[in-house]
Amino acid sequence: MEPLLGEGIHGAVVSAILLAEVADRFLAGRSSDLHEYQQALEREFVPTLERAAAAATILHAWPRPLLWMAGRSQRAWRLAARLMQPSDGDRPGGAGSIARAVAWLVLPPLAWVARRRGPRVAT
């Protein structure tokens, strides 16, 4: 099980729906190829995967304080879960939450610092 994004069942279903829509247009002659599928996948999944990668980098750099906080605060755990969830805010023109907007401002610089610092082992 992938700890930051879950088992992938949701992603598989969304991917199948996207493929069905693109294939339908292609088979009906309204599209000349299946390139739209790749673009749809990128629109749907890249923002969430980028957040997950940044969060994983941060967690590996500072495991102790982050695990301590998550283990003692339901609020911190719920916030982390909300930051990882895909939403309309990930799409152009979507209405994202304030927490997700803050994540876009905070996660990349923290991940940059974490990459420079390197992973640490929680003991």
Query: Between these two residues, 93 and 31, which has the higher pLDDT value?
Result: 31
Place of tokens 């940059």: 112
Structure letter (DSSP) for residue 64: H
Task: Read off the pTM.
Answer: 0.63
In this prediction, residue 24 has a pLDDT band, given cuts at 50, 70 and 90, of very high
Query: Between these two residues, 10 and 20, which has the higher pLDDT value?
Result: 20
Cβ contacts of 108 within 8 Å, gap of 6 or more: 54
- The C-alpha torsion from 117 through 119 and 122 to 123, rounded to 10°, is -80
